[in-house]
Amino acid sequence: MALDPSMPILVVDDYQTMVRIIRNLLKQLGFEDVDDASDGSAAIAKMRDKKYGLVISDWNMEPMTGFELLRRVREEDALSQTPFIIVTAESKTENVIAAKKAGVNNYIVKPFNAQTLKTKIESVCAA
């Protein structure tokens, strides 16, 4: 299935190096419209201003975690349908289950490469 390279994507991570890595991977996959936010509060504000085709968020952030951001997004009617992928270094089963229950579309465990990212994006966004 073909991905839409013009789809706006929001990358949320408090670690700028990870933001750069994900941006570069997205660029390799052909995505040009990539914004970023350094925490959940900034992400919510950006999502209220612009409709994103996908949010890729780290799990471990301060002061609002990616999991808390996911729950906020799912609670807000205007944002609740936004595809959401959580990225984490932890592959704890209970975290995966909690994220699924909260409405995450997919889950990526670090480290990952462009192909893994592409597969995950296709699974949530390809029409």
**Using alpha carbons only, what angle is made at residue 106 by residues 4 and 94, rounded to the nearest 5 degrees?**
170
Which residues face 34 on adjacent strands?
Answer: 9
CB atoms within 10 A of CB 7: 16
Is 60 exceeded by the pLDDT of residue 127? Answer: no
Could you give the CA distance from residue 112 to residue 127 in angstroms, rounded to a whole number?
A: 24
Average pLDDT, the chain: 94
pLDDT in tens, 65-120: 999 999 999 999 999 999 999 999 888 889 999 999 999 999 999 999 999 999 99
Is 2 a domain residue? no
Count how many domains the chain has: 1
Is 92 a domain residue? yes
User: Chain centroid to CA 22: how far?
Assistant: 10
* Model confidence band, residue 3 (pLDDT cutoffs 50, 70, 90): confident
Q: What pLDDT sits at residue 1?
A: 52
Is 110 a domain residue? yes
Look up residue 66 and give its two tokens.
């990616």
Is 127 a domain residue? no
Q: What pLDDT sits at residue 87?
A: 96
